[in-house]
Chains A and B, each alone.
Chain A
Amino acid sequence: EAGVAQSPRYKIIEKRQSVAFWCNPISGHATLYWYQQILGQGPKLLIQFQNNGVVDDSQLPKDRFSAERLKGVDSTLKIQPAKLEDSAVYLCASSLVQGGYEQYFGPGTRLTVT
């Protein structure tokens, strides 16, 4: 089966600019996650979708980050405006359903904010 797709793979922007990331989960997977992984740390959940509804976004900096999952399939994560501390790898993952099932991760987008 095709894996989780993400684009772009790399992005370099200046602080205060905006950026958007795209994720296409595995077909049929109802749950989609966006994680932020800062170098040397574990993935930190930003937002979790069940179909096209938000299940948890408690750690999403809502003043600058937004995410949507249209029609319960693809998802986009946006940062506006970006800060230096946003430099990280942004990982998208999907699972068949939520609750005790394997998450399949995409290759990630490495964001560098200068």
Chain B
Amino acid sequence: GENVEQHPSTLSVQEGDSAVIKCTYSDSASNYFPWYKQELGKRPQLIIDIRSNVGEKKDQRIAVTLNKTAKHFSLHITETQPEDSAVYFCAASSKTSYDKVIFGPGTSLSVIP
């Protein structure tokens, strides 16, 4: 079945710097890759997603890139702010697995003012 790995597990950056989180997936048939943000004690919320027919997607300060050949995708946050501090989860889903969404283990991002 699908396996999603995520690195790093923790990340600290200075306010204003960029943050990059990388994920790899195992199922070459995966076609949908969402990223969720979970603040402490809150529910996960979608921040951006990308489909397998697109290599890059950007939304204001966040962007996601996808390399299907290497089976990895990354989240880029620019001009980080303290409110970006949270746990970020990447995920992957595949039509061969009934679109089941498999989450990575998460990256705890701390933005230091």
* Chain A contact residues, CB within 8 Å of chain B: 33, 40-45, 48, 55-56, 58, 91, 98-100, 102-103, 105-108
> Closest A-chain residue to B105, C-beta based?
A42
- Which of B14-22, B64-72, B89-97 contacts the other chain? B89-97
Interchain nearest-CB distance for A98 vs B (Å) = 4
A105 to B6, CA, bound (A): 21
B93 x A43 contact (CB < 8 A)? no
Question: Quick check: B99 and A102 within 8 Å, CB to CB?
Answer: no
Using Cβ atoms and an 8 Å threshold, which residues of chain A touch B34?
102-103
Q: At the interface, yes or no: B100 with Cβ under 8 Å from chain A?
A: yes
Q: Which residues of A contact B105 (CB under 8 A)?
A: 41-42
B: which residues have CB within 8 A of A? 1, 6, 31-32, 34, 42-46, 49, 51, 89, 91, 93, 95, 97-106
- What are 5 A-B contacts with C-beta separation under 8 Å? A42-B91, A55-B99, A102-B49, A105-B44, A107-B42
CB distance from A35 to the nearest CB of B (A): 8
Closest to B95 in A: A99
CB distance from A50 to the nearest CB of B (A): 8
Which of chain B's residues have a CB closer than 8 A to the CB of A102? 34, 46, 49
Q: A40-B106, A98-B98 are in contact. List 19 more A-B contacts (CB 8 A).
A: A33-B101, A41-B105, A41-B106, A42-B6, A42-B89, A42-B105, A42-B106, A43-B89, A43-B103, A45-B100, A48-B100, A55-B100, A56-B97, A58-B1, A99-B95, A105-B43, A105-B44, A105-B45, A108-B43
